Structure 1
């Protein structure tokens, strides 16, 4: 005898304390700002969860144009957070038309040094090279003791809808320059300037 299909209770319509129907909230207009935040533990599955969440959010808000670049960059930063920190991490997505900013925060106060400032064969810093090539803007800084009650860092990148110019006042030169674990903090003017991937280098 086959197992019977489980019976599902109908989902009741949302109601207030007086039992009146509560209509669902309207969709946020495309040009209005929004923000999502995902907390995940120090677990090898964390970066995959972050990628899945990011794809779902961008798809729901009609920002599929960003998905490929954002997924790759978020994966790099989330993987670094899991690999080099000893605690949980946070991925935050913020949309302020036409800019998507993705920030990854973890409990490690030090960051990888850009590959250009170390041996060309080194593994450390390759994620930041990808950031430099694919992001419209990016940066990072150390955090105080507000994140999970301990110090840490945040590394962020921005993608601009339609490939326009990134907003002024952000990115290169603001905050502490990324650095490798165990290395001293580099002053902002030591960090390589953002490169436009559309320009060829000679």
Structure 2
């Protein structure tokens, strides 16, 4: 059986600290996983980056490659962007691609790469109108955004539990999206 490739992207939100467990679960389901992080998420996981690269068998990326450099990842069958922060979601919806992972998902829309996003925002961020506009914009462009009932639901600031982040929902949605492609 040929494995499919999952690009797992994460922003700097507490559930990113569970990424090794998520990679192992995805691999157990037959995925070849490539891990991409926002620069801040990479900074948070700095001491784990070599181990995460060993776990996936691919370099962990948080920056754009130079035009002269070869692409070191296989082609994605699906992208899962989780946790996706307020900043990442709004940047993506607006097409502001200074962060590598945001650039890949923005370009992925035009390339037709099946993509799932699951936010991780607290209720204070969720009350900002920009979030709803961004979620709507991304959904209108074919992105599955797992936000609200059946996906991620915001908690009051400071009360969230990274252990309560619905990773199973995100992984299942990515699998379903890839199966339909």
- What's the TM-score once normalised by structure 1's chain length? 0.28
Kindly indicate whether structure 1 or structure 2 has the higher relative contact order, using CA contacts under 8 Å at least 6 residues apart.
2
- What's the TM-score once normalised by structure 2's chain length? 0.30
Larger radius of gyration: 1
Q: Which structure is higher in helix share?
A: 2
